[in-house]
Amino acid sequence: MRYIEQQTVVKRMNGRLIANSIFKYIFLAATLIALLALVILLYRIVTQGAGHLSIEFLTNFASRFPEKAGIKAALVGSLWLMLVVAPTSIILGVGSAIYLEEYAKQNRITTFIRMNISNLAGVPSVVFGLLGLTIFVRALALGNSVLAAGFTMSLLILPVIVVASQEAIRSVPGELRDASYGMGATKWQTIVKIILPAAIPGILTGSILALSRAIGETAPLIVIGIPVIIQFLPAGVMDTFTALPMQIYDWSSRPQQEFQTVAAAGIIVLMAVLLFMNSIAVIIRNKFDKRY
């Protein structure tokens, strides 16, 4: 007695094959819709803003007159911001990931911490802005400086970096740790010589993606009171500054039609910066990507 009859199998085959191809097209459509939205967005921004792009746009400060308005202060301000955010968030983030993965004992407290770091990654950025306002701007009296904004942004992206680094460290095969410990290496030697080199592609990719989020965030900057119209460049981390998304937000909320063009040009610059950072992430990943 056979349980599977060849005839029924053949009879059902058609329906199965149809379902198979229907789902293929559903998923293709999902991808295309997302892609289409992106293309339309890019097309609008580029056609609107490309005309305003020029060397002067990059070297001029902001202005009341749309034709003279430039993005210099915001571009340099965003770079200053990254100068604070990158080291702060990567050092703290990778440090906590190493602690949680390699040192911390598995118990209820560490499970609780791990869980909440993932939760923190989902907290709205404006909440981090309020935190930054309370702690860095007011309590530590840093004012609306590069440092205060940088620390706030670091807190915002820290959970993302911690989670990405934890994943990267966890994916290093246990056999490599065994081999290192088996030769009498200390935990620190094993981390520096074996685990980090193997985890660095994942860590850097995650970190750079987190940094590109920080460079595009506006809400926390608004909350901690970063100004928009600035006619000078910050000379140090204690100076105030403005950032690309702030400048774009300001331009796009102005009544004059011409400023919409300026805003679009600003968006192109911001996207160029993001694209540049993401391609660094890709290059690093490919360079360090090793098989094991």
Partner 1 sequence: MTESAKKAVYETKQLNLWYGSNHALKNIDLEIMENEVTAIIGPSGCGKSTYIKTLNRMVELVPSVKTSGEILYRGRNIFNHDYGVEELRTRVGMVFQKPNPFPKSIYDNIAYGPRIHGIKNKKILDEIVEKSLRGAAIWDEVKDRLNENAYSISGGQQQRICIARALAIEPDVILMDEPTSALDPISTLKVEELVQELKKDYSIIIVTHNMQQAARISDKTAFFLNGEVVEYDHTDTIFSNPSDKRTEDYISGRFG
Q: Which residues in the 86-105 window bind partner 1 by CB under 8 A?
A: 105
| Half-sphere exposure in the Cβ direction for 281 (13 Å, CA) | 17
- Two tokens, residue 272: 């160029």
Residues 186-245 that bind partner 1 (CB under 8 A): 186, 189, 193-194, 197-198
At its nearest, how many Å lie between partner 1 and the CB of residue 163? 22
Please report whether residue 171 would count as binding partner 1 according to CB under 8 A. Answer: no
Q: Could you tell me the CA-to-CA distances from 134 to 4, 119, 137, 150 in Å, in that order?
A: 70, 21, 6, 14
Q: Which of 181, 196, 254, 285 binds partner 1 (CB under 8 A)?
A: 181
Which one among 12, 175, 283, 287 touches partner 1, defined by CB under 8 A?
175
* CA distances, 283 to each of 175, 198, 279, 280 (Å): 27, 16, 6, 5
- The tokens for 162 are 């911690």
Does 65 bind partner 1 (CB under 8 A)? Our answer is: no
Question: Token pair 């460079």 is at which residue?
Answer: 215
Asked if 287 touches partner 1 (CB under 8 A), the answer is: no
Going by C-alpha positions, the residue among 273, 239, 237 that lies closest to residue 154 is 237
- Report which of 177, 217, 2 is spatially closest to residue 89, judged by C-alpha positions: 217
Q: Tell me if 180 contacts partner 1 by CB under 8 A.
A: yes
Strand, helix or coil for residue 141: coil
Regarding 108 and contact with partner 1 (CB under 8 A), the answer is no
Segment interacting with partner 1, rule: CB under 8 A, options 8-16, 80-88, 154-162, 178-186 = 178-186
185 binds partner 1 (CB under 8 A): yes
Least separation in angstroms between residue 191's CB and partner 1 is 12
Q: Is 291 in the site for partner 1 (CB under 8 A)?
A: yes
Binding footprint of partner 1 on the chain (CB under 8 A)? 105-106, 173, 175-186, 189, 193-194, 197-198, 290-292
